[in-house]
Homo-oligomer: A and B are copies of this chain.
Amino acid sequence: MVSRHAIRRGVYYDSVVLMQLQRSLAALPGVVDAAVVMATPANRELLESTGFALAGVEAGPEDLLVVVKADDAEAAAAALAEADRLLEQRRAAGPAGAPGAYRPRSLAAAASALPEAHWVLVSVPGRYAAGVAQQALDLGKHVFLYSDNVALADEIALKQQARSKGLLVMGPDCGTAIVNGVGLGFANRVRRGRVGIVAASGTGLQAVASAVHALGEGVSQAIGTGGRDLKAEVGGITALQGLDLLARDPQTDVIVLVSKPPAAGVATALLSAAQATGKPVVVDFIGYPPPARRLGNLHFAANLDEAAELAVHLRRAGKAPPISDGRPPITGYVRGLFSGGTLAVQVLLGLQPVLAPLYSNTPLRPEQALANSLHSQAHTILDLGEDEFTQGRLHPMLDNDLRLRRLRQEAADPEVGLILLDVVLGDGAHPDPAAELAPAIAEVKAARPDLEVAALVVGTDEDPQGATAQGERLAQAGATVLRSAAAAVEYVSRRLQQPYRYPYPALPLAHFGEDGRSLAAINVGLEMFYHSLLAQGAAAVHVDWRPPAGGNEALMAILAKMRSGRREQQPHG
Contacts and interface: CB of A to CB of B under 8 A. Distances in A.
A529 B397 CA distance: 14
A302 B299 CA distance: 12
B341 A187 contact: no
A389 B292 contact: no
The copy count of this chain in the complex is 2
B342 A460 contact: no
A343 B532 contact: no
A19 interface: yes
A27 to B, nearest CB: 12
A214 to B, nearest CB: 7
A438 interface: no
A309 to B, nearest CB: 10
A161 interface: no
A303 interface: yes
B460 A364 contact: no
B388 A202 contact: no
Contacts of A84: none
B302 A42 contact: no
Given A393-B38, A429-B186, A345 B287 contact: yes
B148 A387 contact: yes
A66 interface: no
A188 interface: yes
A43 B186 contact: no
A186 B345 contact: no
Contacts of A459: 188, 206, 210
Nearest to A531: B427
B227 A305 contact: no
A207 interface: yes
B462 A346 contact: no
A30 interface: no
Given A186-B424, A303-B485, 7 more contacts: A61-B392, A148-B387, A149-B391, A183-B428, A190-B460, A290-B290, A303-B346
25 contacts: A19-B394, A22-B401, A35-B401, A39-B392, A40-B391, A40-B392, A46-B402, A188-B459, A188-B460, A189-B463, A190-B460, A190-B462, A202-B340, A203-B339, A203-B458, A206-B426, A210-B459, A287-B349, A289-B289, A304-B342, A304-B484, A304-B486, A427-B536, A428-B528, A428-B532
